[in-house]
Structure 1
Amino acid sequence: MGYSALLRPRDEQSFARKSSHERQNRSSRRGRIRRTLRSAWQRCGPEFSGWKGQAHLFGLAVFSALVLRLAFPRWNVAIVAAVGLAPFLWAVANAKSGKQAFYLGWVFGAVYYYVLLIWLHVLIVYHPVIPAALVLLGLYLGLFKALFAWLAWRMARRGGTVYWAVAAAWVAAEYIQSLGDLGFPWGYLGHGLWRHPPLLQLTAWTGVYGLSFVLFWANHLLCDSTRALRRETSAPPARQLLARLAILAGFGGAVLLSHLGARHRVHSEDFYATPPATIGIVQPNIPQRIKVRSYSWDTPEEERARLQSEILRKTITVTDQLQSQAGADACDLVIWPETAVTDEFFVFRPAYETLFDDLATTRFGTALFFGATKMHVLRMGRFVAPEDLDLDDYRLHPEAYAFEFYNSTWLVEPGRGFNPTIYSKTRLVPFGEGLPYIQRVKPLAALISKIAGIVPLSAASKHVVYTLRGRDGSALLRFGPLICYESCYPDLSRKRVRRGAELLVIITNDAWYERTAGAASHQLQAIFRAVETRRWVARCANHGISCFVSPLGEIVAESDLAREATVKWHVRGVKELTFYSRWGDVFAWLTLAGTCGFVVLARKRQR
């Protein structure tokens, strides 16, 4: 018997009215949702119907992104940084609306960062989600260029008096991109000059943002001069060109004076605070697939122990070669790369303490600085010291234990053993070593970690400066450590220098990127840290590129990529602080303040 036979006529009519009312409600809700989405799309989405015949503007944005990529490794065509942005600026100037300018900027930024970071695809063997992640990264970073394009279009409507404001908006967008846990100070316009140290000296005053400002001005000058010649602007071409050429010449004069002043100062004897110290760098060239297997808990324990021993043995052998070549010119400090020791239980095994004390005191006869993982064990939320760890209790009650992993550095001194000061990484690679903001939501963090194959590390908060001492205990120099990705952040190097660091030491493992442009793209950051702080930089990489960078940003010695190598140089400590080391991103703050001020004034005038 059907349900309808069980209903009385009145109940049947009531049921029909109720069903009809529910259908109307559902239809009404769907209608409201469609109207809301359509309204949001109309406000924020591209106006394709109004952009007919302007596809060439998006073509120019893509073309500009591809050309600008040539300023960076492996091509390193520096002149592109001064002209490659002009097609994009021309497209923004000819946009029909601020919304269209925004999307032009987004397309430009997304394409630019995708092709700039395309070498990250090599990580797909470790993280299958890399292709999708790279697209999302490009879209995210493209938003900063989109913000600039929208601002530039609005500013252009105010006339030629905002020429300075547009350049400030570009720098402000770069600066905002570097902020927060998702900050990514990579691929800035000024970075395109990395192979030309004489042009970099302005960064001791303004950071990379001063170079970006000058290069943007050159691009804008080219764009506006072209528009003036095509009669797209009302100002006479000759007057416009001469005025802006004069300003650009003034910028060139500032760059030249910075170079001359820096060279004179660095070559002065009183510039240095310490006698020369001999630093040796060891590049063992351990393939990344072997390093990963040596610490992966999916690897059988016996094989993991064997690989850890082989990695350590090879690094020691390459160090022996360095010391045998030194002769009478023995090293005061030998540097090994990031995670040179891949055993997570490094601090829990007393045999390592004996081994490294013997290496520093007897075998090498010099201080040894290296990277390794530091593991904290927590039982019921309480820290367990290495000497108090009860393995039997752990086997019986594994659920009571939790682990925290830190990417750390260690200094072993001859005759004194391990230095009690340990530095752990404070700035983690977003979605590579940590999950910024997401880690606060533990279920979501666990899900993303599982999908992406990420084992989140813990970030430390303490900034450390080591003191290198001779055998007699006297201080030779003080150095500040930077681990891998941290070398991209000028604020971290400034903190080390203000705490007394006379030398910067970068340890990294770029074997992840194999023979791609990734290693050179990362190396260029060391050049800017050297010039900004006027410090020698010693950069030690497992796979390359290891190098020494002078306070003028000159690479005085470097290794080849993907080879066993040793590099040695005499460096001297520097105590004095540059304007940028002392005051930081004042120039960037001014551009940001100027941009915000322009927006506020523009809104008041509209009212």
Structure 2
Amino acid sequence: MKRIHRLALSIGTGLLLSLAWLGFPGWIVFVALLPLFLVENYFVENKEEFRSVSFFGHAFLAMFVWNITTTWWIVHATAVGAAMAIITNSFLMSLVWWLGHLARRSFKSNLGYIAFAVFWISFEFFHFRWDIEWPWLQLGNGFANNVKMIQWYEFTGAFGGTLWVLFMNILLFSLLVQYSKGIRTRVTLFSTLFYLLLFIVPVLVSKRMYKSYVEKVDPKQITIVQPNVDPYSESFDIRAEDTKKQNFLRLAASASDRNTDFIVGPETVFENPSYWDESKLETNRFLNDMKQFIHQYKHAEMLFGVSSYKIYSNPDEVTTTARTNNDMTYDRFNTALFVDRQNEVQIYHKSKLVVGVEKMPFMKYLGFISDVVLDIGGTTGSLGRQKDASLFTSSDGTKLAPVICYESVFGEYLTHYVQQGAELIFIITNDGWWKNTPGYKQHMSFARLRAIETRRSIARSANTGISCFINQRGDVEQATGWWVEAAISGKLNKNSSMTFYAKHGDYIARVALFMSVLFILLMIVRRFTEEQKKSAPIRFV
């Protein structure tokens, strides 16, 4: 195989993977890995001629094309952050492919492909949990706009989709290799039948689940506000904040009535943190105006986002993200506030922060350069965060999950709300940073996965769109347009039942992580054994 052909195939995998994130049917990912598998197989068959590292460059090219084609829009928020995210993620993905390639060189049977699959799932699991989280391109996310195919995510989560994609690609490639060599055996026939069943059965089961799923009728009427404030040109002085408040309340009033239970606003309705000292919320005039507004309605309570700060008077409470200014030590937060009928205010601080935009990774070790981190609000330094998910409780006892922006990409994180009793999920976000690109569409589509995984209805308020309601089957209802002022009203049913995934989380990934350790140990043992055989002296009889 010529080098130009290998490069073309590598690019082909990157482009095919991108299509599902760009609005094309998700089933395309079932063939997306085939070109790169063909390149990888060429290096395995010619391993005496090529070192294993020869494949790494081809894998990097494929992963780089996938990353840049689907997530280039990060550049609108931070060019440096975009470059770091795309290059780092491509490099890490390439390492997984290279490790799988080593396994293929080590194992003669299809065990090498199984090793690659568990390595990849372990990588995705790891990418949810370290300090540079970026699970945007989890393979299971590729079906976010094809919810009728993946209703069984309530049992497996998105990792079930990742496993499905990997097995479909591996089986199909193995079959193509056999057919290309003229192999026609019972095993080949059985493998072909198994491949077809692996595609058809999950789809048929999902469609049946979709048609038969009936929500328990327990409605709450919700108003969602989309203020449409341009994050790149907005002002932050007192007059600008007043204008934003007035526009928000005007839109909320246009869609609310005496039956409204909740009014939901987006992330950072109020962006200037200097007006939101958490120790003085009872005298905050913006908040008091919000309280007065909801009392025009019989049942209404309100959830919205602000940038806030908290002062530390006790040195023992100071965190690694705290900053000091004029002898005042404090943390800044991306905050969700909930105002109930008794004028009580509940607070939630965003936990899953965006790397390079809201936080400096590995702050414990790199805190000395934290000032290079650019926060979306225009100041430097990492934001503070809340360690665990927590709920808001309405006056009638309804349990609400406040999910801020990036957190909606983390499936298992949302199960923590459900395990605490969340009956509805409210996602508040500001996707205006990505402008009119695939980014805001991808972000909204991931919320559909969370609805299926937890079987929780979702109200999504986005500053510039897409705001919408999402039912427990993942259907999007009343989606607003992009970059327009809007307010919509609708009913969502509460649900208190637990899905298998909500109970057990990413169990598929944990099994894969355990298997990965075993495979790596086996590879080390085999390599050590081979080296011993090579160095053993020749004995003559």
Between Structure 1 and Structure 2, whose CA radius of gyration is higher? 1
Residue 434 of structure 1 aligns to a residue in which SS? coil
- Counterparts in 2 of 1:118-517, with a 5 A limit? 118-123=72-77, 127=78, 130=79, 132-157=80-105, 158-162=107-111, 163-231=113-181, 236=184, 239-240=187-188, 242-250=190-198, 252-261=200-209, 263-264=211-212, 266-267=213-214, 272=216, 275-291=218-234, 293-294=235-236, 304-323=237-256, 326=257, 330-344=259-273, 345-347=275-277, 348=280, 349-362=283-296, 366-378=300-312, 381=315, 399-414=326-341, 416-419=342-345, 421-438=346-363, 440-447=365-372, 454-469=380-395, 474-475=396-397, 477-517=398-438
Find the counterpart in structure 2 of residue 387 from structure 1: none
**Which one-letter code corresponds to 2:18 in the other structure?**
R
**Which one-letter code corresponds to 1:77 in the other structure?**
P
Q: Give percent identity, aligned residues only.
A: 23
Report the alpha carbon displacement of residue 215 of structure 1 after superposing the two structures with TM: 1.8
Find the counterpart in structure 2 of residue 573 from structure 1: 494
**Which one-letter code corresponds to 2:328 in the other structure?**
Y
Residue 422 of structure 1 aligns to a residue in which SS? strand
Find the counterpart in structure 2 of residue 542 from structure 1: 463
Verify the 8 A CA contact 1:87 1:223 in the aligned structure 2. no
Provide Cα deviations, 1:481-512, integer angstroms capped at 9, x if missing partner.
11011111112211100000011110000111
Distance 1:63 1:453 in 2: 41
Residue 26 of structure 2 aligns to a residue in which SS? coil
Verify the 8 A CA contact 1:338 1:372 in the aligned structure 2. yes
Report the alpha carbon displacement of residue 353 of structure 1 after superposing the two structures with TM: 3.9
Report the alpha carbon displacement of residue 398 of structure 1 after superposing the two structures with TM: 6.3
Residue 478 of structure 2 aligns to a residue in which SS? strand
Report which stretch shifted further, 76-85 or 204-213. 76-85
**Which one-letter code corresponds to 1:151 in the other structure?**
L
Find the counterpart in structure 1 of residue 36 from structure 2: 88
Verify the 8 A CA contact 1:170 1:213 in the aligned structure 2. no
Distance 1:382 1:156 in 2: 52
Distance 1:564 1:445 in 2: 36
1:106 aligns with 2:40: no
**Which one-letter code corresponds to 1:316 in the other structure?**
L
Verify the 8 A CA contact 1:113 1:141 in the aligned structure 2. yes
1:66 aligns with 2:15: yes
Provide Cα deviations, 1:539-572, integer angstroms capped at 9, x if missing partner.
1101000111111111123111111112222112
Query: Residues 353 and 118 of structure 1: is their aligned pair in 2 closer, same or farther, counting only changes over 3 Å?
Result: closer
Find the counterpart in structure 1 of residue 536 from structure 2: none
Verify the 8 A CA contact 1:357 1:418 in the aligned structure 2. no
Find the counterpart in structure 1 of residue 321 from structure 2: none
Report the alpha carbon displacement of residue 312 of structure 1 after superposing the two structures with TM: 1.2
Report the alpha carbon displacement of residue 583 of structure 1 after superposing the two structures with TM: 0.8
Verify the 8 A CA contact 2:171 2:195 in the aligned structure 1. no
Structure 1 residue runs without a partner (length 5+): 1-51, 295-303, 385-396
Report the alpha carbon displacement of residue 517 of structure 1 after superposing the two structures with TM: 1.2
Report the alpha carbon displacement of residue 209 of structure 1 after superposing the two structures with TM: 1.4
Find the counterpart in structure 2 of residue 586 from structure 1: 507
Distance 1:241 1:176 in 2: 37
Report the alpha carbon displacement of residue 241 of structure 1 after superposing the two structures with TM: 5.5
Query: Residues 567 and 161 of structure 1: is their aligned pair in 2 closer, same or farther, counting only changes over 3 Å?
Result: same
Provide Cα deviations, 1:349-375, integer angstroms capped at 9, x if missing partner.
532343122111126861111111221
Verify the 8 A CA contact 1:337 1:507 in the aligned structure 2. yes
Provide Cα deviations, 1:212-243, integer angstroms capped at 9, x if missing partner.
22122222233333333332xx9547743641
Residue 180 of structure 1 aligns to a residue in which SS? coil
Scaled by the length of structure 2, the TM-score of the pair is 0.87
Structure 2 residue runs without a partner (length 5+): 44-49, 319-323, 530-541
Report the alpha carbon displacement of residue 210 of structure 1 after superposing the two structures with TM: 1.1
The number of residues matched between the two structures is 508
Provide Cα deviations, 1:405-431, integer angstroms capped at 9, x if missing partner.
1111111123x1133x21111111111
Scaled by the length of structure 1, the TM-score of the pair is 0.78
Distance 1:483 1:197 in 2: 23
**RMSD of the alignment, in Å?**
2.7
Distance 1:424 1:151 in 2: 38
Verify the 8 A CA contact 2:70 2:438 in the aligned structure 1. no
Query: Residues 378 and 489 of structure 1: is their aligned pair in 2 closer, same or farther, counting only changes over 3 Å?
Result: same
Instruction: List 4+ stretches of structure 1 deviating above 6 A.
Output: none
Find the counterpart in structure 1 of residue 6 from structure 2: 57
Distance 1:184 1:339 in 2: 22
